[in-house]
Amino acid sequence: MAAIDRISTIGARRTSAVDVDLYAGFPAAIDALAGRAHPGHRFLRANWFAASAPEGGSTLIGRRLDGSPIAAIPVSPVGPMMIGLGNVPGAYWPFRYAVVDAGASWSELAAMLAHAGTRAALSPMWRMGPVYADEPATVALVRAAKRARWTVLTRSLGRSFTLDLNAPDWPRRSTIKRLGGYRRRLEAMGDLRIETVRGDGWTTSVFESLGEVEAASWVGTSTDGSGAKFLRPEQRAIWQRVVADPVLANALSATILWLGDRPIAFSFDLTSGNRQYAIASSFDAEFSEHRVGKIVTYHQLAEAREAGVAQVDFGTGDSGYKREIGAVPTFEIHDYLFVRNRSAAALLRLKWEGRARSDNDDDTPIEPWDDELIAAAALGAAKRDPIGNLEQILLAGMLAATSIALVE
């Protein structure tokens, strides 16, 4: 896919400069960059972004002068167009990241973000998140954005629960013994089997089976279904678009517990590097007393450990079952809003952060620019910014009044 806009590098010292290209949609160049990302981020491929943005979007890619990529920032529009809000999309909420070359320095990222072309191409306010706050790519990008004169608003969403599969006391023998008893009771009711799907095993009927379990779960019977992943055709369609990429099809897996021809529980997971992300799990409420959800979860975790997974991330929040499995709260999850105009950011700060000032605002030490181009690019962007201060302030006021567009 050809770039729809190439914005020449500004500044006289091209030896320390970057170029930026703007692409319509989510190009294959994202896949090449994902292969250069941190191992835990190599699933951040074009289909990962496109699947949850059927309305389209654009992707900004920054490159060094030798043509090697620095980072890609996919953005889709959110809310009323006149607000000017962009959102980094993603098939699952903790993984709405920009794609960053693992070897990129924060000063290269700052040069990219300070580039006049970047400031013209990106929305005046764009959201990245929720993401893991201490990931190297997150730390570098947030630091770079502040240096490039973007205001970064931070909202903390709590900590994710993670399980160490290499812990010597996991799983407990007593747990395995109890689950064996539940399995024997189920086997007395019919043919019990566990199926694992990945790679070229994904079919429409597989996703319909996952939806069948959700329909019989508390999510399907006691809620409006908005929290489900497979209950409705449009929810299943997102994941069908994701697995159209063979790399992502292999990274994702569904572990399904069947009783006869009836699916009664599943675990849906993503593996990247030696880390696994638990995206969804559900069980038929009729079989809750047989702990079918726990049976399928422990089976899947045992398979993951045999495959070399060292850590499983279950996301934020816990009604008790995550701690029961052995997971503990670890990584902070943040939601970031990058705002081009400081006055606009001041209007948004209290709404976004829920307090007058974020503790993260001043964590970058005051020091000379690592790259003189950063200062030149920021100056150029300030002169060429197509949206003036008054317009930015008005847009921010509208965003504060219609903040529902930011809430998922």
Range of lowest pLDDT (29-38, 259-268, 313-322): 313-322
Residue 368 has pLDDT above 50, yes or no: no
pTM of structure:
0.84
% of the chain surpassing 90 pLDDT: 68
Q: Who's near 355: CB < 8 A, 6+ residues apart?
A: none
Residue 68 has pLDDT above 90, yes or no: yes
Evaluated on CA atoms 91, 92, 93, 96, the torsion sign reads negative
Range of lowest pLDDT (11-15, 275-279, 330-334, 403-407): 11-15
Range of lowest pLDDT (66-75, 201-210, 244-253, 352-361): 352-361
Chain center to CA of 22: 21
Distance CA 36, CA 392 (A): 36
Distance CA 333, CA 89 (A): 16
Q: Are 222 and 239 in contact (CB under 8 A)?
A: no
Output the pLDDT for position 81.
66
Q: What is the pLDDT of residues 81-135, one digit of tens each?
A: 666 789 999 998 768 999 999 999 999 999 999 999 998 899 889 999 989 999 9
Single-letter residue type at 334? H
Output the pLDDT for position 80.
67
Task: With CA atoms as reference, report the closest residue to 270 among 174, 198, 342, 370.
Answer: 198
Q: CA angle at residue 323 from 320 to 327, to 5 degrees?
A: 140
Which of the two residues, 205 and 363, has the higher pLDDT score?
A: 205
Output the pLDDT for position 133.
94
**In whole numbers, what is the pLDDT of the chain averaged over residues?**
85
Residue 401 binned pLDDT confidence (cut-offs 50, 70, 90): very low
Task: With CA atoms as reference, report the closest residue to 382 among 150, 152, 153.
Answer: 150
3-state secondary structure of 331: strand
Homologous superfamily assigned to 166-309: Gcn5-related N-acetyltransferase (GNAT) (3.40.630.30)
